[in-house]
Structure 1
Amino acid sequence: MKNIYLNAFAMFFLAISIGACSGAKKGTVNAENVTDSVSNELSTQADSTGYIVRVGDVAPDFKVVLTDGQTVSLSSLRGKVVMLQFTASWCGVCRKEMPFIEKDIWQKHKDNKDFALIGIDRDEPLETVLSFAKATGVTYPMGLDPNADIFAKYALRDSGITRNVLIDREGKIVKMTRLYNEEEFASLVKQINEMLT
């Protein structure tokens, strides 16, 4: 019986502590606040590939300066199917994948007003990004991400690339890829085709 009382007291104390950390009024326990606190904490944890966003989430907004000097915000693209490709010149897998993105996605859909593709180059200067695009033969828009601040909205700052994030017309994430896998890439291409027909 003594153990039952001790366990009940411990659970009550734990609930009060969690409630206080979640912003609940001192001395009260609100189960909804405790649940929200726990789910908020879990939502900021990375998955096994380093993503901190999930399929179904509204894609975090950002502004990016493109290599032509134009500034684009993700929110300004709402109503379009958007693909973000996180990349960098030092990434060998990116160099392998980018010509496929150019050929199988960009060349097919670049004239579709309902589609946008932005390569977001991680933490490199303009000259390097321009040389990188030329070397890989890509013509899709490339943006600069100093300090990887845009990248850090989607994945742990120190996690790797290449990554693709596909966003629907409502601004929700519908697919995320990591590295280059032919089968996964074919699935990405298929999903983009379906979303645009």
Structure 2
Amino acid sequence: MSKNLLSIAILILAMGIVFVNVWKPSQADGEKDLPKEEAFRGSEEIPGASFSKVKEGRPAPDFELTTLDGETIKLSDYKGKKVILNFWATWCPPCKAEMPHMQNFYEENNNKGIEVLTVNLTNIDKGEENIKTFVKEYGLTFPIPLDENGLIGPQYQAFTIPTSYIIDSNGMITKKIVGPMDEAMMKNLTNNIK
């Protein structure tokens, strides 16, 4: 008798699995007539990070930060120039490898209408003194805004660092790069935009 009960239980379980996988419930009230992409969009949002606003082909969201030198800058101050917007931290090995390339590129191109802004993710770094030591050690001369409150990095989806954005002279994001770049890559990416 127990073999029969076990067989019946397995059969009912199997039918339940098939039913759940085949049965398609009617759409929820809030999702009627929406394509699947539209219905999913609401779950993309992470507090402080609007994925729909920060992507290629969209305007780069403006922000205001204080640089390591104490100067207040806004991304919109650089409208009219091409911008490499980079997110990094001192403890990040790929960031360390990328910085000499950033510096060389900056020296060769800052008077040609191209700006390099390297936003330090200060809220996850090892303190301002460590950042100053790093900057001195690597001889960095480009502006280094400090994301002390940890708001701009997530907004720009800098979840893996380095993360960089190429922004054209109209303030539009033309490319997102996750991982380190070298000078040739920076030159290629900035040559191909207006």
- TM (norm. structure 1) is 0.70
> In the alignment, does 2:44 pair up with 1:18?
no
Post-superposition Cα deviations, 1:107-130, rounded to whole Å, max 9, x if no partner, equal 111223x32211111124332221
Return the match for 1:190 from 175, 180, 188.
188
Give the whole-Å Cα distance in 2 for the aligned partners of 1:88 and 1:172. Answer: 25
- 1:115 corresponds to which residue? 114
How far apart are the structure 2 equivalents of 1:77 and 1:38? 37
After TM superposition, which residue ranges in structure 1, 4 or more long, deviate above 6 angstroms? none
1:149 alignment partner in structure 2? 151
Whether contact under 8 Å (2:67, 2:144) holds in the other structure is: yes
Secondary structure of the residue that 2:60 maps to in structure 1?
A: coil
In structure 1, C-alpha distance between the alignment counterparts of 2:114 and 2:180, rounded to whole Å: 22
1:18 offset after TM fit, Å? 2.1
Indicate the SS of the match to 2:106: helix
CA offsets per residue over residues 54-101 of structure 1, 9 Å max, x none?
211221221111112111111222222111111111111111110011
Structure 1 residues 67 and 181, CA gap change in structure 2 (3 angstroms): closer
**Does structure 1 residue 164 correspond to structure 2 residue 125?**
no
Letter in 2 for 1:111: N
Mind listing any 5+ residue stretches in structure 1 that lack a counterpart? 1-6, 20-30, 46-50
Confirm or deny: 8 A CA contact 1:175 1:188 kept in the other structure.
no
> How far apart, CA to CA, are the structure 2 residues paired with 1:38 and 1:75?
33
Q: Is 1:131 aligned to 2:133, yes or no?
A: yes
What does the per-residue CA deviation read over 1:162-193, in whole Å, with 9 as the maximum and x for residues that have no partner? 111110122111111122255xx633321213
Q: Distance in 1 between matches of 2:135 and 2:191?
A: 24
- For the 8 Å contact 1:110–1:116, the answer to whether it is kept is yes
- The answer as to whether partners of 1:93 and 1:180 remain within 8 angstroms in 2 is yes
Superposition RMSD on alpha carbons, in Å?
2.9
Distance 1:106 1:139 in 2: 8
**1:26 alignment counterpart:** none
Amino acid corresponding to residue 178 of structure 1 in structure 2: V
Contact 2:84 2:115 in 1 (8 A): yes
Query: Which amino acid is 2:84 matched to?
Result: M
Q: Distance in 2 between matches of 1:76 and 1:110?
A: 15
Output the CA distance in 2 between the equivalents of 1:116 and 1:67. Answer: 16
**Which has the larger Rg?**
2
- Partners of 1:98 and 1:136 within 8 A in 2: yes
> Which residue number in structure 2 is paired with residue 25 of structure 1?
none
